Amino acid sequence: MKKYILYLVLILACVNVNAQSFKLPEKMINSEDSLEPLTEEEISEIQGKVDEFYHKMQKQYYVEFRTDTFAIEIIENLRSSKRIPELEYSIIVSDVNAAYDVLLNKYYKLLRANLNEEKQEMLKQSQLNWLKFKTSELKLCGELFLEDGSIGEIKARYYDTELIKSRTIRLFEYLVEISAYVD
Protein backbone atom coordinates (compact mmCIF):
# COMPACT_ATOMS: atom_id res chain seq x y z
CA MET A 1 0.00 0.00 0.00
CA LYS A 2 2.85 2.39 0.85
CA LYS A 3 4.27 1.69 -2.60
CA TYR A 4 1.08 2.92 -4.33
CA ILE A 5 0.91 6.02 -2.17
CA LEU A 6 4.54 6.78 -3.01
CA TYR A 7 3.76 6.46 -6.74
CA LEU A 8 0.86 8.85 -6.38
CA VAL A 9 2.93 11.37 -4.44
CA LEU A 10 5.71 11.20 -7.04
CA ILE A 11 3.30 11.68 -9.93
CA LEU A 12 1.61 14.64 -8.29
CA ALA A 13 4.95 16.17 -7.29
CA CYS A 14 6.14 16.14 -10.88
CA VAL A 15 3.23 18.28 -12.03
CA ASN A 16 3.72 22.02 -12.20
CA VAL A 17 1.43 23.93 -9.80
CA ASN A 18 2.21 27.45 -10.94
CA ALA A 19 0.43 28.79 -13.99
CA GLN A 20 1.60 31.89 -15.80
CA SER A 21 -0.18 34.46 -17.91
CA PHE A 22 1.12 34.60 -21.46
CA LYS A 23 -0.38 37.95 -22.39
CA LEU A 24 1.99 39.98 -24.53
CA PRO A 25 2.93 42.96 -22.32
CA GLU A 26 2.30 46.38 -23.82
CA LYS A 27 5.73 47.58 -22.64
CA MET A 28 7.37 44.90 -24.77
CA ILE A 29 5.50 46.09 -27.83
CA ASN A 30 5.99 49.84 -27.40
CA SER A 31 9.01 50.21 -25.17
CA GLU A 32 10.37 53.71 -24.72
CA ASP A 33 13.86 52.23 -24.38
CA SER A 34 13.87 50.57 -27.79
CA LEU A 35 15.62 52.23 -30.69
CA GLU A 36 12.80 51.56 -33.11
CA PRO A 37 9.15 50.80 -32.31
CA LEU A 38 7.83 47.47 -33.54
CA THR A 39 5.95 47.46 -36.81
CA GLU A 40 2.44 46.06 -37.11
CA GLU A 41 3.90 43.10 -39.00
CA GLU A 42 6.36 42.34 -36.17
CA ILE A 43 3.61 42.67 -33.57
CA SER A 44 1.41 40.34 -35.60
CA GLU A 45 4.23 37.79 -35.89
CA ILE A 46 4.89 37.92 -32.16
CA GLN A 47 1.19 37.60 -31.35
CA GLY A 48 0.99 34.60 -33.69
CA LYS A 49 3.78 32.91 -31.75
CA VAL A 50 2.00 33.71 -28.47
CA ASP A 51 -1.26 32.25 -29.84
CA GLU A 52 0.56 29.11 -30.96
CA PHE A 53 2.02 28.80 -27.48
CA TYR A 54 -1.49 29.11 -25.99
CA HIS A 55 -2.72 26.21 -28.08
CA LYS A 56 0.22 24.13 -26.90
CA MET A 57 -0.61 25.09 -23.32
CA GLN A 58 -4.23 23.98 -23.77
CA LYS A 59 -2.99 20.61 -24.97
CA GLN A 60 -0.54 20.51 -22.07
CA TYR A 61 -3.37 21.15 -19.59
CA TYR A 62 -5.37 18.27 -21.10
CA VAL A 63 -2.39 15.92 -20.96
CA GLU A 64 -1.55 17.01 -17.42
CA PHE A 65 -5.14 16.63 -16.23
CA ARG A 66 -5.56 13.23 -17.82
CA THR A 67 -2.25 12.09 -16.34
CA ASP A 68 -3.25 13.33 -12.90
CA THR A 69 -6.65 11.65 -12.91
CA PHE A 70 -5.38 8.49 -14.60
CA ALA A 71 -2.75 8.08 -11.89
CA ILE A 72 -5.41 8.26 -9.18
CA GLU A 73 -7.82 5.93 -10.96
CA ILE A 74 -5.24 3.31 -11.87
CA ILE A 75 -3.86 3.17 -8.34
CA GLU A 76 -7.40 2.88 -6.96
CA ASN A 77 -8.20 0.08 -9.40
CA LEU A 78 -4.98 -1.80 -8.65
CA ARG A 79 -5.53 -1.57 -4.91
CA SER A 80 -9.19 -2.57 -4.99
CA SER A 81 -9.06 -5.18 -7.77
CA LYS A 82 -8.91 -8.01 -5.25
CA ARG A 83 -11.41 -8.98 -2.65
CA ILE A 84 -10.34 -6.84 0.27
CA PRO A 85 -11.57 -6.25 3.80
CA GLU A 86 -13.94 -3.37 4.50
CA LEU A 87 -11.31 -1.49 6.49
CA GLU A 88 -8.81 -1.54 3.64
CA TYR A 89 -11.47 -0.41 1.17
CA SER A 90 -12.23 2.47 3.52
CA ILE A 91 -8.55 3.43 3.41
CA ILE A 92 -8.53 3.26 -0.40
CA VAL A 93 -11.57 5.55 -0.62
CA SER A 94 -9.92 7.98 1.82
CA ASP A 95 -6.70 7.97 -0.20
CA VAL A 96 -8.56 8.63 -3.46
CA ASN A 97 -10.46 11.43 -1.72
CA ALA A 98 -7.20 13.00 -0.52
CA ALA A 99 -5.63 12.69 -3.98
CA TYR A 100 -8.57 14.42 -5.66
CA ASP A 101 -8.46 17.10 -2.98
CA VAL A 102 -4.82 17.75 -3.94
CA LEU A 103 -5.90 18.07 -7.58
CA LEU A 104 -8.76 20.38 -6.63
CA ASN A 105 -6.30 22.71 -4.91
CA LYS A 106 -3.87 22.45 -7.81
CA TYR A 107 -6.42 23.42 -10.47
CA TYR A 108 -7.91 26.11 -8.23
CA LYS A 109 -4.43 27.69 -7.97
CA LEU A 110 -3.78 27.33 -11.70
CA LEU A 111 -7.10 28.96 -12.51
CA ARG A 112 -6.62 31.71 -9.96
CA ALA A 113 -3.16 32.54 -11.35
CA ASN A 114 -4.75 33.19 -14.75
CA LEU A 115 -7.41 35.62 -13.50
CA ASN A 116 -7.36 39.33 -12.77
CA GLU A 117 -8.07 40.51 -9.21
CA GLU A 118 -11.81 40.96 -9.74
CA LYS A 119 -12.24 37.49 -11.19
CA GLN A 120 -10.00 36.01 -8.49
CA GLU A 121 -12.42 37.38 -5.90
CA MET A 122 -15.36 35.90 -7.83
CA LEU A 123 -13.58 32.52 -7.92
CA LYS A 124 -12.89 32.73 -4.20
CA GLN A 125 -16.59 33.42 -3.47
CA SER A 126 -17.63 30.60 -5.76
CA GLN A 127 -15.26 28.22 -3.98
CA LEU A 128 -16.54 29.29 -0.56
CA ASN A 129 -20.13 28.74 -1.74
CA TRP A 130 -19.17 25.35 -3.13
CA LEU A 131 -17.59 24.41 0.22
CA LYS A 132 -20.83 25.35 2.01
CA PHE A 133 -22.81 23.26 -0.48
CA LYS A 134 -20.43 20.33 -0.03
CA THR A 135 -20.67 20.55 3.76
CA SER A 136 -24.46 20.60 3.57
CA GLU A 137 -24.56 17.64 1.18
CA LEU A 138 -22.21 15.60 3.35
CA LYS A 139 -24.29 16.34 6.43
CA LEU A 140 -27.37 15.00 4.63
CA CYS A 141 -25.39 12.05 3.27
CA GLY A 142 -24.14 11.23 6.77
CA GLU A 143 -27.68 11.23 8.14
CA LEU A 144 -29.00 9.10 5.28
CA PHE A 145 -26.28 6.47 5.69
CA LEU A 146 -26.00 6.65 9.49
CA GLU A 147 -27.79 3.33 10.00
CA ASP A 148 -25.40 1.56 7.59
CA GLY A 149 -22.50 1.72 10.07
CA SER A 150 -19.01 1.58 8.60
CA ILE A 151 -20.41 0.89 5.12
CA GLY A 152 -22.35 4.14 5.48
CA GLU A 153 -19.13 5.96 6.30
CA ILE A 154 -17.53 4.53 3.15
CA LYS A 155 -20.58 5.61 1.10
CA ALA A 156 -20.38 9.13 2.54
CA ARG A 157 -16.62 9.34 1.84
CA TYR A 158 -17.19 8.07 -1.70
CA TYR A 159 -19.87 10.73 -2.25
CA ASP A 160 -17.46 13.36 -0.87
CA THR A 161 -14.87 12.15 -3.39
CA GLU A 162 -17.38 12.44 -6.23
CA LEU A 163 -18.19 16.04 -5.20
CA ILE A 164 -14.49 16.93 -5.10
CA LYS A 165 -13.86 15.17 -8.40
CA SER A 166 -16.70 17.02 -10.16
CA ARG A 167 -15.52 20.39 -8.78
CA THR A 168 -11.98 19.61 -9.93
CA ILE A 169 -13.25 18.86 -13.43
CA ARG A 170 -15.25 22.10 -13.45
CA LEU A 171 -12.21 24.19 -12.41
CA PHE A 172 -10.10 22.43 -15.04
CA GLU A 173 -12.71 23.21 -17.70
CA TYR A 174 -12.67 26.89 -16.68
CA LEU A 175 -8.88 26.89 -16.90
CA VAL A 176 -8.89 25.44 -20.41
CA GLU A 177 -11.55 27.91 -21.55
CA ILE A 178 -9.77 30.99 -20.25
CA SER A 179 -6.36 29.86 -21.47
CA ALA A 180 -7.60 30.53 -24.99
CA TYR A 181 -8.30 34.17 -24.12
CA VAL A 182 -6.07 36.90 -22.79
CA ASP A 183 -7.40 39.78 -20.71
Are 22 and 53 contacting, i.e. CB atoms less than 8 angstroms apart? yes
How far apart are alpha carbons 111 and 179 in whole angstroms?
Answer: 9
pLDDT of residue 180: 63
Q: What phi, psi does 46 have (nearest 5°)?
A: -65, -45
pLDDT of residue 124: 97
In the three-class reduction of DSSP (H, G, I as helix; E, B as strand; rest coil), residue 23 is classed as coil
How far apart are alpha carbons 161 and 85 in whole angstroms?
Answer: 20
Taking every pair of Cα atoms in the chain, the longest distance, rounded to a whole number of angstroms, is: 77
CA angle 15, 80, 154 (to 5 degrees): 90
pLDDT of residue 53: 62
How far apart are alpha carbons 137 and 115 in whole angstroms?
Answer: 29
How far apart are alpha carbons 70 and 64 in whole angstroms?
Answer: 10
What are the average pLDDT values for consecutive 10-residue runs of the chain, which has 183 residues? 46 41 44 59 72 65 80 78 76 87 94 94 97 94 81 86 94 85 48
Are 120 and 174 contacting, i.e. CB atoms less than 8 angstroms apart? no
Per residue in 95-136, pLDDT (tens digit) is 888 999 999 999 999 999 999 999 999 999 999 999 999 999
pLDDT of residue 162: 93
How far apart are alpha carbons 175 and 127 in whole angstroms?
Answer: 14
pLDDT of residue 10: 43
